[in-house]
């Protein structure tokens, strides 16, 4: 029924709990493909020694990135429905069972997803902020794709989705040419196919405070290559062109995330450069932009102090 892909890179402290949350699913017809991404810690050893289950397949790839690892895992999958979970996150006990119900009732969907919770960097757990107020499984309106990214949390996450294998292959899988934003880019491609089904069961916990989980790699802090990917889609898609204002706010949010990662890394010079990019002024929240400006144009020591204070108040993420 399900092939579960788990990319692994230096997550020795978390991977056993992650796989344990899969093995304790109420629905048991699945395989687990753990793709080690050239880990240097004891993660692989812990999987081999502490977990004994014939449904687990451990394979290796030579550190070509998480997108390649996920795609490689899918290429080995023997089942038609593909799920993903990062090695430092966990599933709730009925995640696969609830996905199975969605599939049984709506076999025509191109993507299925349960809801999820987030553990923030300050350790606080929260439900996702949603645009939709639906309490039952619903077809996600593609018109809300931009709104969710701009104003709230995406209704889906890599840890919650289930994609028919033929759909994954149709859209080309995760883009291996980018190292940040590859997940949302994949969802965007699938959303354009329509028929995205969202359930309300909280099926996963996304650990933003997990060890080794970073925002944006240092080498990408001036411009995100994923933005150019979206520009290519925009140029070819009339529906996106009709939603031009929302699309611009969507791109502005990506620039804002780049800006905030620069601030968190103390590279304030690069953060200030982003304010000279006119596209960022389409950001939905002018307050957040104002806060970012205050942090960017403040001496580094004071900026880091203010950032920690604001993160504790959950005013910035």
pLDDT of residue 65: 87
> What secondary structure does DSSP assign to 280-301, as a single string?
GGG-S-HHHHHHHHHHHTS-HH
Whether residue 155 contacts residue 132, with contact meaning beta carbons closer than 8 Å, is answered with yes
pLDDT surpassing 90 at residue 225: no
- pLDDT, tens only, 183-208: 999 999 999 998 999 998 999 999 87
CA distances from 242 to 131, 143, 187, 246, 248 (A): 20, 10, 19, 9, 11
73: which 2 tokens?
């895992």
Residue with tokens 């931009």: 146
State pLDDT tens for residues 48-86: 999 989 999 999 988 788 999 999 999 999 999 999 999
Strand duo 138-139 + 196-207: pairing? antiparallel
What is the rounded distance in angstroms from the CA atom of residue 182 to the CA atom of residue 193?
17
Element (H, E) at 83: strand 81-84
Residue 135 Cα distances to 138, 179, 198, angstroms: 8, 34, 10
Of 18-22, 100-104, 159-163, 265-269, the poorest mean pLDDT is in 265-269
* pLDDT confidence of residue 311: 75
Single out the residue of 4, 6, 84 nearest to residue 43, CA to CA: 6
Name residue, tokens 């076999």. 107
pTM above 0.85, yes or no: yes
Confidence of residue 317 (pLDDT cuts 50, 70, 90): low
Tokens of 140: 């996600």
Query: pLDDT of 125-166, one tens digit each?
Result: 887 776 555 556 788 887 788 888 888 788 889 999 999 999
Nearest residue to 291 via CA among 265, 273, 314: 314
pLDDT for residue 134: 55
Kindly state the tokens that stand for 294: 């205050």
pLDDT value at residue 4 = 98
Predicted pLDDT at 153: 81
CA distance linking residue 221 with residue 229, whole number of Å: 17
Ordered domains of the chain (ranges, CATH) = 2-207 (3.90.550.10), 218-312 (no CATH)
* Greatest alpha-carbon span in the chain: 57
What distance in Å separates the CA atoms of residue 276 and residue 282, rounded to the nearest whole number? Answer: 13
Give the pLDDT of residue 307. 86
Q: What is the pLDDT of residue 212?
A: 55
- Predicted pLDDT at 222: 62
């Amino acid at each position: 029924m399900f092939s579960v892909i788990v990319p692994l890179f230096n997550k020795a402290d978390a991977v056993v709990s992650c796989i344990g949350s899969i093995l304790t699913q109420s629905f048991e017809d699945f395989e687990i493909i753990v793709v080690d991404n050239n880990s240097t810690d004891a993660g692989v050893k812990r999987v081999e020694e502490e977990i004994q289950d014939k449904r687990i397949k451990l394979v290796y790839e030579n550190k070509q990135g998480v997108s390649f690892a996920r795609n490689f895992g899918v290429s080995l999958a023997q089942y038609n429905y593909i799920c993903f979970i990062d090695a430092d996150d966990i599933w709730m006990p009925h995640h696969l069972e609830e996905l199975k119900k969605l599939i049984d009732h709506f076999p025509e969907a191109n993507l299925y997803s349960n809801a999820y919770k987030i553990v923030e960097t300050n350790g606080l757990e929260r439900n996702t902020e949603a645009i939709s107020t639906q309490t039952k499984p619903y077809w996600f309106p593609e018109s809300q794709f931009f709104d969710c990214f701009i104003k709230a949390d995406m209704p889906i996450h890599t840890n919650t989705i289930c994609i028919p294998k033929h759909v994954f292959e149709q859209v080309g899988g995760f883009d291996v040419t980018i190292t940040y934003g590859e997940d949302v880019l994949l969802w965007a491609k699938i959303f354009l196919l329509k028929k995205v089904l969202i359930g309300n069961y909280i099926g996963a916990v996304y650990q933003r405070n997990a060890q080794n989980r970073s925002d944006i790699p240092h080498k990408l802090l001036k411009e995100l290559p994923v933005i150019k990917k979206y520009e290519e889609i925009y140029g070819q898609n009339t529906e996106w062109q009709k939603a031009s204002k929302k699309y611009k706010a969507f791109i502005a949010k990506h620039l804002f995330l780049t800006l905030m990662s620069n601030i968190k890394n103390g590279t304030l010079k690069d953060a200030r450069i982003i304010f000279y990019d006119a596209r960022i002024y389409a950001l939905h929240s002018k307050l957040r932009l104002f806060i970012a400006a205050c942090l960017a144009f403040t001496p580094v020591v004071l900026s880091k102090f203010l950032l920690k204070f604001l993160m504790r108040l959950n005013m910035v993420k």
